[in-house]
Chains A and B, each alone.
Chain A
Amino acid sequence: NAGVMQNPRHLVRRRGQEARLRCSPVKGHSHVYWYRQLPEEGLKFMVYLQKENIIDESGMPKERFSAEFPKEGPSILRIQQVVRGDSAAYFCASSLLTREAVSWTVNTGELFFGEGSRLTVL
């Protein structure tokens, strides 16, 4: 019974390169969230996606960052032209129901987090 799977667990990139982080949600979950954890900082919301739709990207930097959750396959967080300040742990979480669902409860709306992808930019 696999939980949220993220890969790669560790990624090293040089400034200017691209980073692609992948997230496979819990089986049956169709809601995916990306959070970023900077050193000495808390988790910061980046983006909330459903299959083929971006629902809320209010926490996503306006440039260089993009996310998708295609009909088939994992969700992907893409960072173009990485800079040193992008070095962080990126966590993906999934849930069964959206917060607006009538039948939302702590059990169905709970966020399950992956173990994170740690990006280091040299």
Chain B
Amino acid sequence: QKEVEQDPGPLSVPEGAIVSLNCTYSNSAFQYFMWYRQYSRKGPELLMYTYSSGNKEDGRFTAQVDKSSKYISLFIRDSQPSDSATYLCAMGASGYSTLTFGKGTMLLVSP
């Protein structure tokens, strides 16, 4: 079993849809959970960060962590074509210097 599992997609939605992206993990030591967005041929950029369990909201983005189920989610409301990118979940046990990444989910938002 891989440490972090993420459906690669692609996930295609119309503009304005609510998007749900998910990752599962097996390492119970993970405490820091991040979502990175990576546009084609670019480097990843940090989108959301959550420590331990709970929800965090930032504009149209909401990150959820359920440590009991080892499951994290990223919700995007009112999705826009500019949200089309690959979304990578990442997690770490202490700090996030050496992160473990999921494979990424490709999201396509059509106008």
Contacts and interface: CB of A to CB of B under 8 A. Distances in A.
A99 B94 contact: yes
A69 interface: no
Taking residues whose C-beta sits less than 8 angstroms from the other chain, chain A's interface range is: 20 to 34
A42 B97 contact: no
Taking residues whose C-beta sits less than 8 angstroms from the other chain, chain B's interface range is: 20 to 34
A104 B95 CA distance: 8
Contact of A115 (B41, B88, B95): B41
A104 B32 CA distance: 13
Interface in B1-57: 4, 6, 8, 41-46, 49
A33 B44 CA distance: 13
A40 B97 contact: no
Interface in A13-54: 31, 33, 35, 40-45, 48
A45 B96 CA distance: 11
11 contacts: A35-B101, A42-B88, A42-B102, A43-B44, A43-B99, A48-B97, A56-B97, A93-B43, A99-B95, A111-B99, A116-B41
Given A43-B90, A45-B98, A99-B97, 17 more contacts: A33-B98, A42-B88, A42-B104, A45-B100, A48-B98, A58-B98, A91-B43, A93-B43, A99-B95, A100-B95, A106-B49, A109-B97, A111-B46, A111-B96, A111-B97, A111-B99, A116-B42
Interface of A: 4, 31, 33, 35, 40-45, 48, 56, 58-59, 91, 93, 95, 98-100, 104, 106, 109-111, 113-116
